[in-house]
Chain A
Amino acid sequence: MNFDWTDDQLAYRDRMQAFALEHLSDDVIDRDERSEFAEDLWQRAAEFGILGLYIPTQFGGKASADIQTAMLAMEALGYGCSDGGLLLALNAQMWAVQLPILHFGSEFQKERFLPRLCDGTWKGAHGITEPSTGSDVFHLQTTAEKVDGGYVLNGSKCMVTLAPICDVALVVASTNPAKGKWGLSTFLVEAEQEGFRRGANHLKMGLRTVPIGELHLNNCFVPESHRLGKEGGGFATFNHSLEFERCCILASQVGAMQRQLETCVRYAKERSQFGQPIGKFQSVSNRIADMKVRLETSKLMLYKVAWLKSQGKSAMMDAAILKLYLSECYAQSSEDAVRIHGGRGYLCENGIDRDWRDAIGGVLYAGTSDIQRNIIAGLLGV
């Protein structure tokens, strides 16, 4: 077992971190208050190659990182960029939109969509959740009726990351309701398609800087060339994509936990009460020690899952454990950071509270913690 990164991997991580610190930090506190997406930061990130780091050059990507290096880079991104909404937007598009197109798409689809997504021109959303089906995802109501030359889609999706500003959406719909889970198919729906409507951005507790909303399909024709994978292959694309998403989408939170820890250590040394730095009080130092333990154990799980995927191995169990553990660790450490900063942590003007509000989103999206526990127990045969 070798825990060393290569010099090239570390250099790539350092470049990512330096870029994020210099170019992806702005007035996020104000934008959070306004629930405003940073279009300029999105473009900067795309130009640096973040969106395309795992996509082959022939499809507009940079192909600059294997999956392990990509995880290390996304961790560094989370350290340097404190805009949790932007991080979710980037990660959601990379792992839940681009990757399914790369893995299941036809040459036409890869050539049409991936270059536009990688260079930031287009934004992609993945519509799964519906008003009546959340975690019970396979009982979705959206239908795709086969017609001459394609399909006619009807239905609605909700809680979709980037939906209000997306240019293309992956939409899971039933092509054969009688076949249940085997009757699902996935489609690439372009925003300009007649009958496709994007909903407004929801006001949220956290992750305010990423637009999240609904997608509506009303007799929306989608050509056959835009079906992703086989008809009836929606079950496969869904499971594969969600496993990959669980593996990758929280890597940036590890970097955020490192940043958070350093901030808390610094504050615990600088802030004095009762004649000594507050870090000398065990009620503070124990919290910091727990944050360090959560950070290191989360890192180990992330790296193990990245290694499994790099070997082409299944990571069903490990991905569920990672998603559950890492998201809960980040939420707990974010709460600890607020407690360590006391009243200052509670004031929005210092930005400490934002991590906590953002972190709660992480225990909900890409499968809630309870769903991850169901997966873990199910894989144990319980």
Chain B
Amino acid sequence: MTDTDPMKKLMSFIQHELMGNQTDPISKDDDLLGGGHIDSMGIMRLVAFLETEFGVSVPPADVTIENFETPQTIADYVQAACRGRS
């Protein structure tokens, strides 16, 4: 598990912390907010998680559908941010 592969930690956080261990698992392409899996508070908790867990800075202007629609887009965003940092 490295910064280049954030998906496992990300999925675990979403499933267990934000969705409260719901039995239906989400896939990496599920629309998190639009699909009703998490609410707006969840997005903000997710931002805090990314900053703490992966050491990336998430400017407010980056919290858009392009970056936060699905676990995959979030993972891509984190990877890009990590590359930009190194």
With beta carbons under 8 angstroms apart, the residue of A138, A232, A378 that contacts B64 is: A232
Chain B 44-58, CB-CB to A under 8 Å as 1, else 0, gives: 110110010000000
With beta carbons under 8 angstroms apart, the residue of B20, B51, B60, B69 that contacts A236 is: B60
Q: How many residues of A contact B (CB 8 A)?
A: 23
Q: Look across to chain A and name the residue whose beta carbon is closest to the beta carbon of B57.
A: A312
B17:A381 contact, CB within 8 angstroms: yes
Chain A 174-195, CB-CB to B under 8 Å as 1, else 0, gives: 0000011110000000000000
Q: How many residues of B contact A (CB 8 A)?
A: 20
B65:A182 contact, CB within 8 angstroms: yes
Most buried by A among B20, B44, B60: B60
Q: Which residues of chain A are within 8 angstroms of B17 by Cβ–Cβ distance? A: 381
B64:A233 contact, CB within 8 angstroms: yes
The yes or no answer to B1 lying at the interface (CB within 8 A) is: no
CA distance A378 to B38 in the complex (A): 11
B61:A230 contact, CB within 8 angstroms: yes
A379:B65 contact, CB within 8 angstroms: no
A-B contact pairs, 22 of them (CB 8 A): A103-B60, A138-B40, A179-B65, A182-B33, A182-B64, A182-B65, A230-B61, A232-B64, A232-B65, A233-B63, A235-B40, A235-B43, A236-B61, A236-B62, A236-B63, A239-B40, A239-B63, A314-B47, A316-B48, A374-B41, A378-B45, A379-B45
Mark A residues whose CB is within 8 Å of B.
Answer: 103-104, 138, 179-182, 229-230, 232-233, 235-237, 239-240, 314, 316, 374-375, 378-379, 381
10 nearest A-B residue pairs (beta carbon): A240-B60, A182-B65, A378-B41, A236-B63, A236-B60, A180-B34, A232-B65, A233-B64, A181-B33, A314-B48
